[in-house]
Amino acid sequence: MKLDGILLGSDKKTCLIYVHGMNGNFYKSSIPFELSKQNNFSIFSINTRGHDLLSTIRTQSGRKGVLAGTGAEVFEDSVKDIKGAVNTMKSLGYKNIFLGGHSTGCQKITHYVYKTKDKRIKGIILFAPADDYSIKRLELGKDFNNFQENIKKLLKNKTNSNNPLQEYGFFTPNRLKSAYTKKGNEAMIYNYDGKLREFSSIKIPIFAIFGSKEEYSDRNVLEYMKILEEKTKSKNFNYKIIKNATHSFDGFGNILLKSVNEWIVKIGK
């Protein structure tokens, strides 16, 4: 598949590959551009095939288009996208590669490390690793059980299980299952009431960052951090809560930059 990205920064040795969240793309978030305002490491901000709400992804030949985007992507395919980005950075000569994900990008980079055990990755940075399943449950309240039952009914029609549905935010039934049910691997990666199995398996350095005014949370973000701290098997786990920052970290670029820069230097370039 042909995917776009942008490489920012002048460092030729260390690179942070940045993975966007739901409905995002390689240029929509301010995070990678804020992090590029120094010379200690480069940033490679990439599209996964889940970029934007709905999109058409072309093959290398350009002759065939595949429906994708947040609403229609297969979450597990993000492993291929991230691997492509890592291979690209290696081909350019980068020796130290970190992965950073924002929101659902956290699930993607965690899943990548869990599935591939890629020894080329020196560490991961989690920018607002929110719990999509619990947030949806909080949002829908008493209607959440009906929502779950409707997903089951929709999935029975296998012919239409990959068709985006306007009434469900242009998500396909398969994507709804992936993001918002307990049978969805994606939904359980950062379900803080669960086992956090994939996160708990990661032994390379981890840095988790939340804003104190995170909108997409069902509890105080400090509780999230304490759960991660308890579950991790990494010998180098750190976290930071940025006072007054929201999910997007808009307006807090300098603090984000300082925190990430210090952590990467601490891990070792």
Encoding tokens for residue 101? 């994900």
Residue type, 79: V
User: By 3-state DSSP, what share of the chain in percent is helix, strand and coil, each rounded to 5?
Assistant: 40, 20, 40
The rounded mean pLDDT for the chain is 95
The model's pLDDT over 92-120, given as tens digits with 9 standing for 90+, comes to: 999 999 999 999 999 999 999 999 999 99
Phi first, then psi: give them for residue 167, nearest 5 degrees: -70, -10
Lowest mean pLDDT among 55-69, 77-91, 137-151, 246-260: 55-69
SS3 per residue for 151-165: HHHHHHCHHHCCCCE
Q: How confident is the model at residue 59 (pLDDT cuts 50, 70, 90)?
A: confident
C-alpha closest to that of 193 among 231, 167, 165: 231
Residue 48 burial by Cβ neighbours in a 10 Å radius (0-12, 13-18, 19+): buried
Q: Provide mean pLDDT across the span 57-73.
A: 86
Third-level CATH fold of 5-131+188-267: Rossmann fold (3.40.50)
The model's pLDDT over 176-201, given as tens digits with 9 standing for 90+, comes to: 999 999 999 899 999 999 999 999 99
Determine how many CB atoms are found less than 10 A away from the CB of residue 227: 18
Task: Give the pLDDT confidence score for residue 269 in this predicted structure.
Answer: 59
Task: Give the pLDDT confidence score for residue 61 in this predicted structure.
Answer: 75
- pLDDT exceeds cutoff 90 at 60: no
Lowest mean pLDDT among 15-29, 56-70, 140-154: 56-70
Measured distance CA(184)–CA(75) in Å, rounded: 10
The model's pLDDT over 6-54, given as tens digits with 9 standing for 90+, comes to: 999 989 999 999 999 999 999 999 999 999 997 789 999 999 999 999 9
Domain boundaries in the chain?
Answer: 5-131+188-267
Q: Provide mean pLDDT across the span 240-261.
A: 96
Q: What percent of the chain has pLDDT over 90?
A: 90
Measured distance CA(128)–CA(221) in Å, rounded: 9
